[in-house]
């Protein structure tokens, strides 16, 4: 556990929201475990135990508190460092839709023995992989019971229990109540029509919503995404079905409000996890800020824009296409090209709330005449080559275990350079240490002339270089004058490394 006892104690007594989800409190006298922000009267220190995760508290025999609802806390932060086995395994657990058991398979996928994986989980998370997966499943079920009007049989399926009997037994064992009793306790304040689900997705404050929204707004693909009156909206397609979701900001509840319209509840877990990743809700900003503030060049920006996150994406393939389209054109230009791709090759959306299309999948673009929308032939070919690589399984955006291998594969595609690959890793994999060091905007923000210098400088920002990039791009003028490279001997990145999708990035 990264946090010491004193820190936990202080955070608990002050109900500090910045620590929400970073540790859990087991109260011996009541047998429940709580978040650091629990409104219940604080227990005496001698009666509490601290756990690094909810799963660890559950394994020690504590039940989730019905007042502070541990299932609503922000996710496990990425303080485990970047390419660690544990964080990769956690990513797999969140992407797998919570399938049962399978620790052997999980261990095999991350390339270690199952006993070793178990040991690592116990060491870092205080719980076994199975306990982590089970706790997540139970928490998700609890959220659906409380926050949706989905029939219990559907809740059981959506949360991966396999059968209603096992779902009932699981809930009863953990909450000492039946699912129906729990639903009666929850006060559903908003009526949800069929296939509409409302989720409150928590974050650890601060959260720079304006920065996130401005970034997404500038890049919103017409017909597929929109940003209006503080609400982000987009169409989605999963397993042959269509839907859409919207996300807005609720600072008082320290959460984002996600409204999902999708008619297969089994995908809800995947969808909400993806939204969490897209809006970078699991970030531990205070740890990031502490580290970045050590560099005077970043300190002022970090102070000025508290809670800046790294925007992720809904779909890695779509993002990579967008990054290729952004090479050598303005953000506006790339956005309109992306809209043309969506309208020409994407499926029309049946009920879209103003959205008209879903972005075309790789299967369609692999054989499409992409350049026909008004692209240089070479760039159209790059997109087709990417689509083919995804179809053939050479490139996968999900379940990425080795980001170096992922980057190498991406760079094998003619027309994709290090810049584009790093940018994709930053936004599609959520790799907090990804860093497009060939970016002129970043060089400009620091007044540096060479990529090598920037790389050297960036060593001290590890493992948060993606966040450092966001702060540097926010420096006024940092990303404006792409053509004017500072210094005579500057190394000018080749055009494909310059994704000008970012050139007008401003907060």
Q: Is 68 in the site for Zn ion (CB under 5 A)?
A: yes
β-strands 24-27, 357-358: how paired? unpaired
* Position among 8, 17, 27, 34 found at the interface with Zn ion (CB under 5 A): 34
> Three-class SS of residue 483?
coil
How many residues does this entry show for the chain? 507
Q: Is 387 in the site for Zn ion (CB under 5 A)?
A: no
Which residues, other chains included, contact 162 with Cβ-Cβ below 8 Å and sequence gap of 6+?
100, 156
Rg over alpha carbons for the chain, rounded to the nearest Å, is: 23
Q: How far is the CB of 33 from Zn ion (least distance, A)?
A: 8
- Please tell me which residue in 8, 16, 34, 313 is annotated as part of the active site: 34
Which residue's CB is nearer to Zn ion, number 31 or number 447?
A: 31
CA-closest candidate to residue 287, choices 78, 21, 25: 78
- Please tell me which residue in 16, 20, 433, 439 is annotated as part of the active site: 439
How far is the C-alpha of 59 from the C-alpha of 270, rounded, in Å? 25
Which residue's CB is nearer to Zn ion, number 48 or number 338?
A: 48
Q: Contact region for Zn ion (CB under 5 A) — 33-41, 120-128, 370-378, 396-404?
A: 33-41
* Position among 54, 57, 58, 65 found at the interface with Zn ion (CB under 5 A): 65
Walk across the sheet containing 32-34 and list its strands: 48-51, 24-27, 32-34, 63-64
* Position among 10, 28, 67, 253 found at the interface with Zn ion (CB under 5 A): 67
Q: Is 38 in the site for Zn ion (CB under 5 A)?
A: yes
Which residue's CB is nearer to Zn ion, number 25 or number 434?
A: 25
Q: Contact region for Zn ion (CB under 5 A) — 10-18, 37-45, 400-408, 439-447?
A: 37-45
How far is the C-alpha of 420 from the C-alpha of 155, rounded, in Å? 40
439 is catalytic: yes
Helices marked H in 96-163 — which ranges? Answer: 103-110, 114-125, 129-147, 152-158
Q: How far is the CB of 35 from Zn ion (least distance, A)?
A: 6
Q: Is 482 in the site for Zn ion (CB under 5 A)?
A: no
Q: How far is the CB of 4 from Zn ion (least distance, A)?
A: 22
DSSP code, position 49:
E
Q: How far is the CB of 451 from Zn ion (least distance, A)?
A: 50
Q: What is the 3-state secondary structure (H, E, C) of 258-269?
A: EEEEECCHHHHH
Which residue's CB is nearer to Zn ion, number 69 or number 427?
A: 69
Q: How far is the CB of 201 from Zn ion (least distance, A)?
A: 19
DSSP states of 468-480 = HHHHHHTSTTTTT
Q: Contact region for Zn ion (CB under 5 A) — 63-71, 137-145, 228-236, 428-436?
A: 63-71
Q: How far is the CB of 284 from Zn ion (least distance, A)?
A: 21
Query: Which residues in 224-238 are b (16+ Cβ under 10 Å) and which e?
Result: bbbbeeeebbbbbbb
313 is catalytic: no
Which residue's CB is nearer to Zn ion, number 135 or number 327?
A: 135
Q: Contact region for Zn ion (CB under 5 A) — 31-39, 432-440, 459-467, 497-505?
A: 31-39
Q: How far is the CB of 15 from Zn ion (least distance, A)?
A: 10
Near Zn ion in 227-256, by CB under 5 A: none
Which residue's CB is nearer to Zn ion, number 109 or number 177?
A: 177
For residue 41, the tally of other CB atoms under 10 A from its CB is: 5
Which residue's CB is nearer to Zn ion, number 70 or number 311?
A: 70
Site residue total, Zn ion (CB under 5 A): 5
DSSP states of 265-325 = GGGHHHHHHHHHHHTTTT--HHHHHHHHTTSHHHHHHHHHSTT------S-HHHHHHHHHH
Distance of CA 301 to the CA centre of its chain: 23
Which residue's CB is nearer to Zn ion, number 25 or number 478?
A: 25
Q: Contact region for Zn ion (CB under 5 A) — 27-35, 237-245, 284-292, 373-381?
A: 27-35
Catalytic residues: 34, 439
Where on the chain is the footprint of Zn ion (CB under 5 A)? 34, 38, 65, 67-68
């Amino acid at each position: 556990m990264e946090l010491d006892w004193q820190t936990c104690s202080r955070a608990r007594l002050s109900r500090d929201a910045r620590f929400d989800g970073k540790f859990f409190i087991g109260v011996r006298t009541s047998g429940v475990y709580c978040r650091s922000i629990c409104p219940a009267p604080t227990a005496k220190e001698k009666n509490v135990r601290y756990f690094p995760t909810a799963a660890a508290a559950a394994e020690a025999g504590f039940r989730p508190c019905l007042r502070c609802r541990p299932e609503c806390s922000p996710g496990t932060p990425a303080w485990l460092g970047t390419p660690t086995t544990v964080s990769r395994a956690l990513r797999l657990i969140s992407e797998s839709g919570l399938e049962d058991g399978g620790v052997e398979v999980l261990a095999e996928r991350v390339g270690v023995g199952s006993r070793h994986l178990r040991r690592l989980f116990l060491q870092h998370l205080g719980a076994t992989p199975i306990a982590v997966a089970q706790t997540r499943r139970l928490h998700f079920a609890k959220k659906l019971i409380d926050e949706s009007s989905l029939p219990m049989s559907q809740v059981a399926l959506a949360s991966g229990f396999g059968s209603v009997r096992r779902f009932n037994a699981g809930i009863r064992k953990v909450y000492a109540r039946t699912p129906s009793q729990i639903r009666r306790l929850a006060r559903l304040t908003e009526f949800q029509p069929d296939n509409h689900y409302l989720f409150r997705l928590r974050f650890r404050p601060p959260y720079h919503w304006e920065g996130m929204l401005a970034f997404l707004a500038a890049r919103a693909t017409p017909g597929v995404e929109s940003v209006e009156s503080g609400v982000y909206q987009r169409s989605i397609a999963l397993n042959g079905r269509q839907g859409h979701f919207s996300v807005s900001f609720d600072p008082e509840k320290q959460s984002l409000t996600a409204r999902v319209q999708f008619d297969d509840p089994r995908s809800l877990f995947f969808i909400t996890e993806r939204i969490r990743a897209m809006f970078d809700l699991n970030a531990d900003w205070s740890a990031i800020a502490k580290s970045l503030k050590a560099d005077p060049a970043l300190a002022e920006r970090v102070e000025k824009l508290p809670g800046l996150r790294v925007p992720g994406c809904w779909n890695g393939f779509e993002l990579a296409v967008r990054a290729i389209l952004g090479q050598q054109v303005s953000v506006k230009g790339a956005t309109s090209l992306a809209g043309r791709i969506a309208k020409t090759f994407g499926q029309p959306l049946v009920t879209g709330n103003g959205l008209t299309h879903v972005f075309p999948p790789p299967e369609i673009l692999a054989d499409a005449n992409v350049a026909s929308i008004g692209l240089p032939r070479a760039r159209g070919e790059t997109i087709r080559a990417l689509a083919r690589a995804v179809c053939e399984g050479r490139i996968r955006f999900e379940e990425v275990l080795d980001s170096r291998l992922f980057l190498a594969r991406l760079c094998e595609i003619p027309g994709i350079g290090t810049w584009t690959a790093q940018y994709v890793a930053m936004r599609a994999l959520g790799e907090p240490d990804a860093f497009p060091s060939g970016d002129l905007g970043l060089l400009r923000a620091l007044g540096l002339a060479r990529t090598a210098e920037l790389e050297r400088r960036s060593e001290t920002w590890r493992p948060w270089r993606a966040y450092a990039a966001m702060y540097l791009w926010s420096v006024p003028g940092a990303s404006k004058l792409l053509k004017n490279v500072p210094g005579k001997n500057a190394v000018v990145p080749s055009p494909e490394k310059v994704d000008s999708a970012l050139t007008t990035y401003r907060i």
